[in-house]
Amino acid sequence: MTKEASKNIAKLLKESNYAVIVTGAGISTESGLPDFRSQGGLWDGRRPEEISHASKVGTDEFRDFFTKRLNDAAEHKPNAAHRLLADWEKKGLVQSILTQNIDGYHKAAGSKKVLELHGHLRYLTCNGCGRDYDVSKFTVEHSDACLDCEGTVRPNVTLFGEELPHLAWSEAIQEARKADLVIVLGTSLQVWPFNSLIDEAYQGGNAARIVIVTESETPYDGIASIRLHDKITAALQAVNEYLV
């Protein structure tokens, strides 16, 4: 990232009245967490809409896949980018974070206003009676049978074939519409309806400025005020030098 770009992003943050951060897998891969879609990622050579589909709950393939996800999320930790965003929130520079990620790293790093729109891996829930379970039921016991009913225990994530949680999604839309600045970090913005949040912000009453920092191309590159293909941690650290 050039000094000029760093200064410009810092200036946008300082001048913004309502800055919203939008994050995807790219911010967590810098913690060492495998992503879904890139070459060599968890989906490489496989069809995610089949492995992580609601119809697969209760199958060995589904349980094995999410056991790996749970183990990976526990093995790795939030990185400097997560911590910087939490610090910016405390300083009033960032108002909310809207994330596709299910690893929970934003909250673990100290961010308070986080909408985990695709769910989280902090605990499991029976899809029958709603009883919550520790993740060890998958990772240690290798079981998804509920102890109270005939339901199946599963992670609290939105699967293919399911709608996003209504209340969280409605809140996310409101956050996007209030934004006058959106900084996109580590998502290719390919997944609908999550990517429509950019439209809500850009076309909203505050006509949000869009900053995109991700290595892959996105469908929204053309409307970005600043477009960078840098590593996220390095980019945020460079911006932070002009915020202190």
Residues with a known catalytic role: 118
Are 4 and 80 in contact by the 8 Å Cβ rule? The answer is no
Q: Where are the beta strands (DSSP E) in 138-196?
A: 153-157, 181-185
Residue type, 98: L
3-state helix, strand, coil in the chain (%, to 5): 40, 20, 45
Instruction: Read off φ and ψ for residue 114, nearest 5 degrees.
Output: -125, 130
Strand order in the sheet with 96-99: 114-116, 96-99, 19-23, 181-185, 209-213, 226-228
> Tokens 């460079």 identify what position?
238
> What's the CA gap between 187 and 6, in Å, rounded?
20
In three-state form (DSSP H/G/I as H, E/B as E, the rest C), the secondary structure along 100-112 is CCCCCHHHHCCCC
For residue 66, what are the contacts with CB-CB under 8 A and spacing of at least 6? 138, 154, 155
Reading the block at residue 228, the tokens are: 């960078």
> What's the CA gap between 12 and 217, in Å, rounded?
22
